[in-house]
Structure 1
Amino acid sequence: MRFAHLFTGFVIWLLAALPATAFDTIATSALVMDQTSGTVLLAKNEDRPVPPASMSKLMTLNMLFEALQDGRVNLDTKFTVSKNASEKGGSKMFVKQGDRISVENLIRGIIVHSGNDACIVVAENLAGSEADFARIMTARARKLGMNESTFANATGWPDPNHRMSARDLVSLANRLMTQFPEYYGYFQERSFTWSDITQSNRNPLLGLGIGADGLKTGHTSEAGYGLVGTARQGDRRVILMINGLQSSGERAPEAERLMNWAFRQFAQETLIKAGKNVAQAEVWLGETSTVALEVADDISALVPYSSRDSITMSVTYDGPIPAPIKKGTELGVLNIEIPDLPSQSYPVFAASDVESGGIMKRLRVSADKLMKALN
């Protein structure tokens, strides 16, 4: 028999606000995620493979960061520029055939200049050719769980076989921040000069005073205008991907609007303190007839301001629970339901020991059970 104890708490009256489900974006595909909690705040065609344009250069950077982390190269390692790389069109770092460029400068050329030529230099020096590098990138993406990502080149150059999803790009952005913090600072650089040519970082979120510090824009006629962006405010960080915008003038305010919404309409709340009793579970043949259930750690969640008075919690357990019971034994599950967000579950534990009842207790229980059966 399964018992459920339902209670609702944290009734806080606020001015009305739009629920999360009422919020949308003009982007054709998008994902907004609170990195701190892992909560997806907005999703639109998030698993659809779309042309990522230069946003896919984040995967080229991932491969280079992995090579740095593995010790195959270091920041001072010099990569040689081929004729193929120097002649690549589109956005450029303006490398020259025969140049020997440090890995660190190539990182800047990819992030700040969005250099297609710099990406090809990296691909050819790590894998021998851009085509082989693209195959290696695709295989690596699969191992990282990026199942909607397929790469045909190192640059994001239009190709029907070059695709990524919004979810994969947000996952990749999260990886770059958490796995390679020593290199993440390059994404904040506002400008970089190479061959006496200074170019500015194309990320429209930098310099807005909203805590933005990355990551990468993208644009082709096929893909439209896109952005993988992130910002940190206080203890929270938000990552977003938008794509399919009609212009850079449309992309910048839409990205800022989504960031402001994510920070202003949601807050990280401590819902239950560690050690707090959340329910009483029925005990079978124990010294006491119930045992308190508690959580082991503080439980916090991202909560929409408009839903703070609508959170419900339930505790489920299989019972009655036979004695003896030792304090700290996991006995059930606490389920938390927050409107417009995924449900969350946490284990609950016995708050105290419960010894087995004596012979008289057992006789009384047996007699009660017999009387109920007879009736």
Structure 2
Amino acid sequence: MKQSLRILLALIILMALMTSIMTPASAREGGVKLADDASSAILIERDTGKIMFEKNSNEKLPPASMTKIMTMLLIMEAIDNGKITLDEKVRTSERAASMGGSQIFLEPGEEMTVDEMLKGIAIASGNDASVAMAEHLAGSEDEFVNMMNDKAKELGLKDTNFVNSNGLPVADHYTTAHDMAMMSRELLKYESITDYTSLYEDYLRADSDKKFWLVNTNKLVKFYPGVDGLKTGFTREAKYCLTATANKKDMRVIAVVMGASTPKDRNRQVTEMLDYAYSQYQVHKQYDRGTVIAQVKVNKGAKNKVDAVTAENVSMLTKKGESLEGATEEVVWNEDVKAPLKEGQTVGTLKVKLDEKVLSEVSLVLSEDVDEASLWQFIKRTASIMGGKRES
């Protein structure tokens, strides 16, 4: 009898050990099990990019309509640099109008503003609106896809390849939960994107007999406090996907779920990740984006020194209750900062450290353009320096 009990006890211990080994450490984070039904998932904090949870986050999978996160990123980038404006008209080609799946039923030759097209993409996941905007920005969807892949490379995303602008099923179109989170982090630099992604409902063609009701495919914008984006996705191959972002308690987080079985499971898993983030973590904000940190010396510039500002919010992520007492700041300047330079160009890095551990690392960028010094400015400056030396 004693021997049987010992054998039974040994089997129970062995089963417990096997369960622990088979469950990824990230999925056991904080003693809770997250993203149980998803193929892959990730949870990050926006300012720092720190990962709070992940499950198979580098597995290449079809993103379905979450592809439109990259499409929206390129649109917002074009608006920001003045290439397009929100009120300019976008004409719908026959090809764009022919897109199946989710759509806003654009007709060939129909025109809508960039603002309206963005609503169609962000709220209703319009495949037709995505292609119309791709053609408007790049001349053709193929060229726009090249821009998408170039942007992915620029962001350092090695496990992403796009073949279209909307996520309709096609071979060799894939990304990962990790890469999706990084794209979303970049998109959220353009804060006005949430003016679109946070809308639960709106209308297009409101003043015509073809009035079209838009209802957000991301139900969490209505049912989870703080959620204001970003994008759902579904195809039979991809199953149910969602990249969601929430902003509350001075902390913005991004949660990605790929390959969930049902929309209910998808929403539940994202909700559990958001609950976990806000119950277990806190953000300590040091500086807002655009804060002047120091002046950088510019060689051969029309100005000797120019303000260097933070490219991002400078924040630190900790578990709740952890102290940052004793944290220090260090600025590392790029070598040979030489004119001509453009506003926004990186000239250094600000690091926040605690016990030699880097808690935050943010680029420092120029607050304005710096032209090369003219010959007269150079002569004047040289004379001033030499005069100063003679006086000493």
Q: TM-score range by the shorter chain?
A: 0.5 to 0.7
1:160-199 matches, cutoff 5 A: 160-178=171-189, 180-194=190-204, 195-199=210-214
1:346-361 matches, cutoff 5 A: none
Aligned partner of 1:139 among 150, 156, 159: 150
| Aligned residue number for residue 35 of structure 2 | 25
- Residues 19-54 of structure 1 deviation map (CA, whole Å, 9 limit, x = unaligned): 536533221111101224432100112122210000
Aligned partner of 2:164 among 139, 148, 153: 153
SS in 1 for 2:277: helix
| Aligned residue number for residue 39 of structure 1 | 50
In structure 2, do the counterparts of structure 1 residues 170 and 346 end up closer, same or farther at CA, with 3 Å as the change threshold? closer
Following superposition, the deviation at residue 182 of structure 1 comes to: 3.1
SS in 2 for 1:216: strand
| Aligned residue number for residue 370 of structure 1 | none
Aligned pair count? 276
Report which stretch shifted further, 252-261 or 21-30.
Answer: 21-30
SS in 2 for 1:193: strand
Amino acid of the structure 2 residue aligned with 1:35: R
Amino acid of the structure 1 residue aligned with 2:100: G
Larger Rg belongs to: 1
Consecutive unaligned residues in structure 1, runs of 5 or more: 1-17, 271-298, 316-332, 337-342, 348-375
Following superposition, the deviation at residue 308 of structure 1 comes to: 5.4
The answer to whether the Cα contact below 8 Å between 1:29 and 1:242 also exists between their aligned partners in 2 is yes
CA distance in 2, matches of 1:59, 1:188: 17
Following superposition, the deviation at residue 100 of structure 1 comes to: 1.2
| Aligned residue number for residue 62 of structure 1 | 73
1:247 matches 2:262:
yes
The answer to whether the Cα contact below 8 Å between 2:315 and 2:360 also exists between their aligned partners in 1 is no
Consecutive unaligned residues in structure 2, runs of 5 or more: 1-27, 205-209, 286-313, 329-352, 362-392
In structure 2, do the counterparts of structure 1 residues 308 and 159 end up closer, same or farther at CA, with 3 Å as the change threshold? same
Aligned partner of 2:230 among 210, 215, 225: 215
CA distance in 2, matches of 1:269, 1:182: 23
| Aligned residue number for residue 125 of structure 1 | 136
1:228-267 matches, cutoff 5 A: 228-267=243-282
- Residues 272-322 of structure 1 deviation map (CA, whole Å, 9 limit, x = unaligned): xxxxxxxxxxxxxxxxxxxxxxxxxxx9853335x859x9x999xxxxxxx
Report which stretch shifted further, 140-149 or 103-112.
Answer: 140-149
Amino acid of the structure 2 residue aligned with 1:25: A
Report which stretch shifted further, 106-115 or 245-254.
Answer: 245-254
CA distance in 1, matches of 2:163, 2:111: 25
SS in 2 for 1:206: helix
The answer to whether the Cα contact below 8 Å between 2:245 and 2:255 also exists between their aligned partners in 1 is yes
Amino acid of the structure 1 residue aligned with 2:115: E
The answer to whether the Cα contact below 8 Å between 1:19 and 1:304 also exists between their aligned partners in 2 is no
| Aligned residue number for residue 319 of structure 2 | 304
The answer to whether the Cα contact below 8 Å between 2:71 and 2:165 also exists between their aligned partners in 1 is yes
Following superposition, the deviation at residue 118 of structure 1 comes to: 0.3
Following superposition, the deviation at residue 266 of structure 1 comes to: 2.1
Q: Normalized against structure 2, the TM-score is what?
A: 0.65
CA distance in 2, matches of 1:300, 1:163: 31
The answer to whether the Cα contact below 8 Å between 1:206 and 1:214 also exists between their aligned partners in 2 is yes
The answer to whether the Cα contact below 8 Å between 2:34 and 2:272 also exists between their aligned partners in 1 is no
In structure 2, do the counterparts of structure 1 residues 199 and 149 end up closer, same or farther at CA, with 3 Å as the change threshold? same
CA distance in 1, matches of 2:129, 2:143: 16
The answer to whether the Cα contact below 8 Å between 1:223 and 1:243 also exists between their aligned partners in 2 is yes
1:335 matches 2:346:
no
The answer to whether the Cα contact below 8 Å between 2:239 and 2:260 also exists between their aligned partners in 1 is yes
1:77 matches 2:88:
yes
The answer to whether the Cα contact below 8 Å between 1:229 and 1:241 also exists between their aligned partners in 2 is yes
Amino acid of the structure 2 residue aligned with 1:187: T
Following superposition, the deviation at residue 57 of structure 1 comes to: 0.4
The answer to whether the Cα contact below 8 Å between 1:335 and 1:345 also exists between their aligned partners in 2 is no
- Residues 322-363 of structure 1 deviation map (CA, whole Å, 9 limit, x = unaligned): xxxxxxxxxxx8437xxxxxx64699xxxxxxxxxxxxxxxx
CA distance in 2, matches of 1:174, 1:261: 19
Following superposition, the deviation at residue 97 of structure 1 comes to: 0.7
Amino acid of the structure 2 residue aligned with 1:265: Q
Following superposition, the deviation at residue 183 of structure 1 comes to: 3.5
| Aligned residue number for residue 63 of structure 2 | 52
Report the structure, 1 or 2, having the larger helix content. 2
1:4-23 matches, cutoff 5 A: 20=30, 22-23=32-33
In structure 2, do the counterparts of structure 1 residues 314 and 134 end up closer, same or farther at CA, with 3 Å as the change threshold? closer
Q: Normalized against structure 1, the TM-score is what?
A: 0.67
Identity, in percent, stands at 31
The answer to whether the Cα contact below 8 Å between 2:246 and 2:253 also exists between their aligned partners in 1 is yes
Amino acid of the structure 1 residue aligned with 2:40: S
The answer to whether the Cα contact below 8 Å between 1:334 and 1:346 also exists between their aligned partners in 2 is no
CA distance in 1, matches of 2:276, 2:67: 26
